[in-house]
Amino acid sequence: MKKTLIIANWKMHFNTHQASIYLSRLNRITSIHRNLEVVLAPTFLSLGQLAQEVDPRKFKLAAQNAYFKDEGAYTGEVSFSMLQGIVKYVIIGHSERRIYFNEDLPMIRDKVAAAYRNKLIPILCIGETKAERLANETKRVIHDQLTTALANLTSEEVRTIVIAYEPIWAISTFEGDIAKPQEIQKVIDYISYQISELYGSRVAQDVQIIYGGSVNSSSITSYLALDNCQGSLVGGASLNYEEFANIINKAYLLRK
Ligand code: 13P
C-alpha cells in the first residue's frame, strides 16, 4: 500500500524567511511517520532554501507549477528540468492556473509529459466548477481533463501519477462550499473507473487519488476514510503550521 500523501499547497504565501521559520516550527512538532508522506509546496523562490533545510525523511518538496519546455527564451518561466534534485513532485493544472493563467488542456498534457521526461512525479489537479456541477457535467469535465492529461503517457508512467480531485466550488478561495464525503466518493470512483478503462485495473489500483478543497483538521478524517482516497492537498489550512501538524496527526492516527 502506498503512503498517504498530505500536501501543503502554500500558493502565493510566505517569503523565503517566513517559509524557513514555518519549516523549523513544523519540524519541531512532527515526527517521522512510516505510512505518511508529508509534502510542502512553497513558491519557487523558497524552494532552493527549503531544499537545503528540510529533513528528507520527514518532508518532501513539491513545486506549484513549471513550464513544459526544458530551457530557452521563455521569460519568467521555470522548467521541470531545473527542479530536478530539488523537488519530488510538481503540482500541475491547479484550477487557479487554469482560471487565472489560461492553462488549457493541451498545455497541461505537455506539462505532465515534461514532468515524466524529467523524472518528477506530477500531482495532476482536476475538478469541475460550480456551474458545471449544477449542469450535471462533472463526469464529462473529469473525463476530458483526465484523458487529455494522460494522453501521451505509458501505463508505467500513469501508474505513478498522483491525481488530486479538487472541485473548484469547494476550494476556499472560490465558493468554498464544504463537499460531502459521499459526493467525493462518487467522483473518486469515477476517476478510478476512467483510468481502468484506459489503462486496465492493475494500473488504476496503483494510481494515487487524493482530495483537496477546504480540508482542515476537523474534516481530514472523513475524506481519508473514503474508499481509495489516499491523501489530501491542503490550501488555506496548511498556512498555519500547528493546524497542518494536526492534519498530519489525524492522518497518522487513521493509517497507523
Ligand atoms: P483550500 O484548502 O484553501 O480550499 O485550497 C485547496 C487547494 O486549492 C489546494 O491545492
Q: Which of 185, 230, 177 is nearest to 7 (CA)?
A: 230
For residue 168, the model assigns a pLDDT of 97
Residue 9 CB–ligand 1 contact under 6 Å: yes
**Ligand 1 centre from 93 Cα, in Å?**
13
Residue 20 has pLDDT above 80, yes or no: yes
Residue 187 CB–ligand 1 contact under 6 Å: no
Q: Read out DSSP for 146-175?
A: HHHHHTT--HHHHTT-EEEE--GGGSTTTT
**237 CA: nearest ligand 1 atom:** 2
Q: Which of 102, 122, 119, 126 is nearest to 111 (CA)?
A: 122
For residue 205, the model assigns a pLDDT of 95
29, 31, 63, 191, 254 from 93: Cα distances, Å: 32, 31, 12, 16, 29
Decide the pairing of beta strands 4-9 and 59-63: unpaired
For residue 198, the model assigns a pLDDT of 94
Residue 224 has pLDDT above 80, yes or no: yes
Active site (annotated) includes residue 94? yes
Residue 213 CB–ligand 1 contact under 6 Å: yes
**Ligand 1 centre from 73 Cα, in Å?**
32
User: Stretch 136-163: mean pLDDT, rounded?
Assistant: 97
- pTM, full prediction: 0.97
Confidence of residue 176 (pLDDT cuts 50, 70, 90): confident
For residue 152, the model assigns a pLDDT of 87
Residue 124 CB–ligand 1 contact under 6 Å: no
Residue 171 CB–ligand 1 contact under 6 Å: yes
Measured distance CA(119)–CA(151) in Å, rounded: 18
Measured distance CA(9)–CA(6) in Å, rounded: 10
Active site (annotated) includes residue 13? no
**91 CA: nearest ligand 1 atom:** 10
Q: What is the 3-state secondary structure (H, E, C) of 28-63?
A: HHCCCCCCEEEEEECCHHHHHHHHHHCCCCCEEEEE
Cell digits of residue 161: 501519477
Q: Which of 195, 190, 197 is nearest to 127 (CA)?
A: 190
Q: Which of 109, 170, 168, 96 is nearest to 144 (CA)?
A: 109
Which residue's alpha carbon is nearest to atom 1 within ligand 1?
Answer: 235
Q: Which residue ranges form the domains of the chain, and what is each CATH number?
A: 4-255 (3.20.20.70)
Asked which of 89-98, 175-184, 241-250 is least confident by mean pLDDT, the reply is: 175-184
**Ligand 1 centre from 111 Cα, in Å?**
21
